[in-house]
């Protein structure tokens, strides 16, 4: 039975001063793939460890399925966990590793054997029961760790950067399999990662964390297209950030960055004074210089980074360096370094950020 | 096959020669003891004049030596159990528990290694006199345990230091409480260190001289003390035979522990 997790005003401090996790609120829904994303030291792993029961919050409460578990010890929480580097028991066979949780629950041996076989079948490791973890490849160990966590039919599956140690190809196929398994079993999953592509690809929702605080919680497209803060815009994907003063001319609202650059805003920012905005590179359209409609700038291509499916340009314009990305689908002219270009975008692609 | 350049071959030869030298240096005293024990003449003689079992017969026929041997074994076994239980638990507490001043406690635990054992023996002797407890066997075992604990603490701390605590967390996550986690995961994986410490404890106790010198009661002595007393009046091959028996016993303990509980580590992970 999957369960929802409610984290309310949770703070963790180790020395009474520095807050590893600072007043975090999260409502993780039942059956949801929820990622904690952020740079190292942002508090994501500490948050996960508090959910698992390895750390106790200094303040606040954690509830699972409506019941407060803040002070319930880890071994009574009924959660599966896949550790970074897997933490398989090296002195036990694969079968014993997977069956460990069932044995702790006092299940009889025949039942354990059957469930272990089923769990290994689910991760496509049938027949590996008698091997030692040390005899398996990284990807296989990963699957054993996953089987060990799901065989106990946990209410919540916690993952601490489980794919970090795998090479890129394997990581992508494991992302896919993990997501499928999560959906098939209807598991509530909390997934810690510092890899934004992984979080965007797999999650139903993402909590972006920085310096112990939650910056934004939202679906991958919300996080990417409508970043709420300067940190989120900068951390997720490539972006062009601008900072200036809001001025109103006639009916339109304009962000005056400096004397060379003013950016029209589609919406009225709630605040007055200095403001940051973001513009994704792929929202910029590049054309040969000439008449350009709407918002735009003229610039010189500094470098063109061919990426196969797209081209990423660094462009010198209005005294600053901008990133622009164009799909390589035949409908866009490709430019070489040194070429003069015009940059255009629509005001609605400008995202207003909180600092 | 082309031969390696001379300088490389010469380097290898020197390396090999050095290692052989070290091994010979370490084993020579044992070889001398064996020669001494098997040589039939009642004094140390080189080259040996023959091979005989007379000193072994004399050793095993001596009631004093036999009593001392059994007493030494008894004390060594008790010491090993006590030092291992205490040392392994202490190491776990030092490595895991967030003890205030754990560095200072570690230093204190290891201090008997730095102190001359004769001082520890003297201090214990005076303490027992003050407490008026006489010279009981448990007093001797306690003395041996004190000097054995540092070995167990050291070897156990060494394996705990390299121990991945996530393994314990994984066990807890899967439903194992603290005690079960210890016996299912921590102990099996730190066993090589604990057992190495136990072997040291056994040997330290079995060979113990300075502590025993103060704490044995007359007429009820450990083997090293009996040998020392014997040496004061006689110097014949019995000493050699007793030494050979001690060496063989020590080797048997190490091999036996390795066979039954295992000293190998799961170093691959």
Residue to test with chain A: of B165, B175, B194, most A Cβ within 10 A: B175
Q: Rounded CA gap, A328 and A323, in Å? A: 16
> At which residue do the structure tokens 């499916």 appear?
A309
Query: Does the structure show a pLDDT above 90 at B4?
Result: no
Using CA coordinates, name the residue in chain A closest to B166: A87
Q: Do B170 and A53 touch (CB under 8 A)?
A: no
> Do residues A270 and A329 lie in contact, with contact meaning Cβ atoms separated by under 8 Å?
no
Which residues sit opposite A33 in a β-bridge?
A189
pLDDT of amino acid B253: 84
In the predicted structure, residue B34 carries a pLDDT above the cut 70? yes
Nearest-10 crossing angle of helices B137-161, B63-96: 40
Q: What whole-number distance in Å separates Cα of residue A223 and Cα of residue A196?
A: 10
Distances B58 to B164, B231, B242 between C-alpha atoms, Å:
54, 15, 10
- The length of chain B in residues reads 269
Around A65, how many Cα atoms within 13 Å sit in the side-chain half-sphere?
12
> Is it true that the peptide bond before B47 is cis, omega within 30 degrees of 0?
yes
| Distance separating alpha carbons of residues B251 and A320, to the nearest angstrom | 77
Give the separation between CA A141 and CA A170, rounded to whole angstroms: 13
Decide if pLDDT at B59 tops 80.
yes
- pLDDT by residue, tens only, chain A of 355 residues: 678 999 999 999 988 788 999 999 999 999 999 999 999 989 999 999 999 999 999 999 999 999 999 999 999 999 999 998 899 999 999 999 999 999 999 999 999 999 999 999 988 899 999 999 999 998 899 999 999 999 999 999 999 998 887 888 888 888 888 898 899 989 999 999 999 989 999 999 999 999 999 999 999 999 999 999 999 999 998 999 999 988 877 778 888 888 888 888 888 777 777 889 999 999 999 888 876 555 678 899 999 999 888 999 999 988 889 999 999 888 888 898 999 999 989 888 999 998 7
- Are B87 and B148 in contact by the 8 Å Cβ rule? The answer is yes
B250's tokens: 């020590």
d(CA B35, CA A132): 48
Q: Which pLDDT does position A294 carry in this prediction?
A: 59
Query: Cα separation of A331 and A327, whole Å?
Result: 8
Q: Is the pLDDT reported for residue B1 higher than 60? A: no
The answer to whether B187 contacts chain A (CB < 8 Å) is: no
- pLDDT attached to residue A291: 60
**Rounded CA gap, A305 and A316, in Å?**
15
- Report the chain B residue with the minimal C-alpha distance to residue A133: B269
Give me the pLDDT at residue B44, please: 72
Q: Do B169 and A148 touch (CB under 8 A)?
A: no
Q: At what angle are helices B63-96 and B223-231 packed, to 10 degrees?
A: 130
CA-atom Rg of chain B in angstroms: 23
Phi, psi angles (nearest 5°) of residue A124: 55, 50
**How far, in Å, are A16, B37, B58 from residue B33 at the CA level?**
64, 6, 16
CA–CA separation, A34 and A217 (whole Å): 10
Cα(A8)–Cα(A23) distance, integer angstroms: 8
What is the reported pLDDT for B267? Answer: 41
Q: Quick check: B172 and A54 CB within 8 A?
A: yes
Q: What is the DSSP string of A174-190?
A: HHHHHHHHHHHHT-EEE
Report yes or no: A53 at the B interface, CB cutoff 8 Å: yes
State how far the Cα of A70 lies from the Cα of A52, in Å rounded to an integer.
10
Give the separation between CA A162 and CA A177, rounded to whole angstroms. 13
To test the contact with chain A by mutation, choose from B163, B164, B172, B173 the residue with the greatest count of A C-beta atoms within 10 A, namely B173
Structural domains of chain B sorted by starting position, each given as residue range(s) with its CATH number in brackets:
1-52 (no CATH), 57-260 (1.10.3720.10)
* Predicted local confidence at residue B268, as pLDDT: 36
pLDDT of residue A1: 61
Considering only the beta carbons, identify the residue of B173, B175, B189 that sits closest to A52. B173
Whether residue B269 and residue A79 make contact (CB cut-off 8 A), yes or no, is no
Nearest-angstrom CA–CA distance, B263 and B188: 11
| B136-147 confidence digits (pLDDT tens) | 899 999 999 999
Taken in order B124, B130, B136, B139, the sign of the CA dihedral is: negative
> Mean pLDDT score of chain B, rounded to an integer?
88
Residues with Cβ < 8 Å from B60, sequence gap 6 or more?
Answer: B66
B268 touches chain A (CB under 8 A): yes
First to last CA, chain B: 39
Q: Which residues in chain B are contacts of A161 at CB distance < 8 A? A: none
Percent of chain B with pLDDT over 90: 46
- In this complex, do B175 and A76 lie within 8 Å of one another by their Cβ atoms? yes
* A252-258: strand order across its sheet: A261-265, A252-258, A240-249, A274-279, A351-353
pLDDT at A292: 55
Is the pLDDT at B121 greater than 60, yes or no?
Answer: yes
Distance between CA B266 and CA A265 in Å, rounded?
63
Contact residues on chain A for B173, CB-CB shorter than 8 A: 52-53, 74-75, 77, 79-81
How many CB atoms are located within 10 Å of the residue B191 CB? Answer: 21
Residue B164 Cα distances to A79, A85, A89, B16, B186, angstroms: 20, 10, 10, 37, 10
For chain B, count helices (H), then strands (E).
12, 0
A223 close to A51: Cβ distance less than 8 angstroms: no
Mean pLDDT, to the nearest integer, of B174-187?
92
A347, β-bridge pairs = none
Q: Best residue in A69, A81, A90 to probe B by mutation, most B CBs within 10 Å? A: A90
Query: Could you tell me the domains of chain A?
Result: 3-234 (3.40.50.300), 238-353 (2.40.50.100)
* Local structure of residue B2 (DSSP, 8 states): P
CB A269 within 8 A of CB A277: no
Assign B266 a pLDDT band (cuts: 50, 70, 90).
Answer: very low
d(CA A53, CA A142): 22
Burial of residue A13 (CB within 10 Å: 0-12, 13-18, 19+) is middle
Give me the interface pTM, i.e. the ipTM.
0.82
Percent of chain B with pLDDT over 70: 96
- Please compute the mean of the pLDDT values over residues B196-214 and round it to a whole number: 92
User: If you average pLDDT over residues B158-177, what whole number do you get?
Assistant: 92
Using a 10 angstrom Cβ sphere, with 0-12 exposed, 13-18 middle and 19 or more buried, the burial of residue B255 is exposed
Return the closest-CA partner of residue B91 out of B111, B79, B105.
Answer: B105
Helix (H/G/I), strand (E/B), else coil: B101: coil
How far lies A208's CA from each of A10, A222, B114, B148, in Å?
Answer: 16, 12, 54, 53
């Amino acid at each position: 039975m999957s369960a929802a997790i409610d984290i309310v005003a949770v703070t963790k401090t180790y020395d009474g001063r520095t807050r590893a996790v600072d007043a975090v609120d999260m409502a993780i829904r039942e059956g949801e793939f929820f990622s904690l994303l952020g740079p190292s030291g942002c508090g994501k792993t500490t948050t996960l460890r508090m959910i698992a029961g390895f750390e106790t919050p200094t303040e606040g409460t954690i509830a699972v399925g409506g019941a407060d578990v803040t002070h319930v010890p880890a071994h009574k929480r009924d959660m599966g966990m896949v550790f970074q580097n897997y933490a398989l028991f090296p002195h036990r066979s694969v079968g014993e590793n997977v069956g460990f949780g069932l044995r702790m629950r006092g299940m009889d041996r025949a039942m354990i054997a059957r469930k272990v076989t089923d769990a290994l079948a689910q991760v496509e490791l049938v027949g590996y029961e008698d091997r030692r973890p040390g005899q398996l490849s990284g990807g296989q160990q990963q699957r054993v760790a996953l089987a060990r966590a799901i065989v106990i039919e946990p209410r919540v599956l916690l993952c601490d950067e489980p794919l970090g140690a795998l090479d890129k190809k394997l990581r992508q196929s494991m992302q896919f399999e993990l997501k499928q398994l999560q959906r098939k079993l209807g598991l509530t999953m909390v997934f810690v990662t510092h890899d934004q592509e992984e979080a965007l690809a797999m999650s139903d929702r993402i909590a972006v964390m920085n310096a112990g605080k939650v910056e934004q919680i939202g679906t991958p497209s919300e996080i990417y297209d409508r970043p709420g803060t300067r940190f989120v815009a900068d951390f997720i994907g490539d972006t062009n950030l601008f900072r200036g003063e809001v001025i109103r001319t006639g009916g339109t609202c304009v962000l005056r960055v400096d004397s060379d650059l003013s950016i029209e805003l589609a919406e009225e920012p709630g605040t007055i004074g200095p403001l940051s905005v973001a513009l994704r590179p792929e929202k910029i359209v590049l054309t040969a210089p000439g008449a350009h409609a709407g918002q735009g700038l003229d610039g010189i291509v500094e470098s063109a980074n061919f990426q196969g499916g797209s081209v990423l340009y660094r462009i010198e314009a209005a005294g600053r360096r901008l990133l622009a990305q164009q799909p390589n689908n035949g409908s866009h002219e490709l430019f070489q370094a040194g070429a003069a270009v015009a940059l255009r975008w629509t005001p609605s692609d400008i995202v207003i950020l909180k600092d | 096959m082309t031969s390696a350049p001379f300088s490389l071959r010469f380097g290898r030869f020197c390396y090999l020669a050095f290692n052989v030298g070290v091994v010979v240096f370490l084993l020579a005293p044992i070889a001398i003891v064996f020669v001494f024990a098997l040589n039939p003449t009642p004094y140390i003689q080189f080259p040996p004049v023959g091979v005989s079992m007379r000193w072994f017969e004399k050793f095993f026929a001596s009631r004093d030596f036999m009593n001392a041997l059994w007493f030494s074994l008894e004390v060594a076994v008790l010491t090993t159990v006590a030092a291992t239980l205490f040392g392994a638990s202490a190491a776990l507490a030092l490595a895991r528990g967030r003890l205030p001043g754990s560095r200072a406690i570690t230093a204190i635990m290891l201090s008997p290694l730095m102190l001359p054992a004769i001082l520890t023996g003297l201090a214990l002797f005076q303490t027992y006199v003050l407490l008026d407890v006489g010279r009981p066997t448990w007093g001797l075992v306690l003395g041996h345990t004190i000097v054995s604990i540092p070995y167990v603490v050291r070897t156990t701390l060494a394996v705990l230091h390299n121990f991945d605590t996530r393994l314990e967390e994984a066990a807890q996550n899967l439903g194992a409480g603290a005690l079960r986690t210890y016996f299912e995961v921590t102990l099996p994986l730190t066993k090589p260190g604990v057992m190495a410490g136990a072997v040291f404890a056994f040997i330290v106790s079995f060979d113990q001289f300075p502590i025993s010198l103060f704490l044995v009661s007359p007429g009820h002595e450990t083997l090293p003390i009996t040998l020392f007393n014997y040496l004061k009046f006689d110097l014949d091959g019995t000493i050699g035979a007793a030494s050979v028996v001690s060496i063989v016993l020590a080797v048997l303990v190490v091999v036996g522990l390795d066979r039954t509980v295992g000293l190998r580590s799961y170093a691959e992970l």
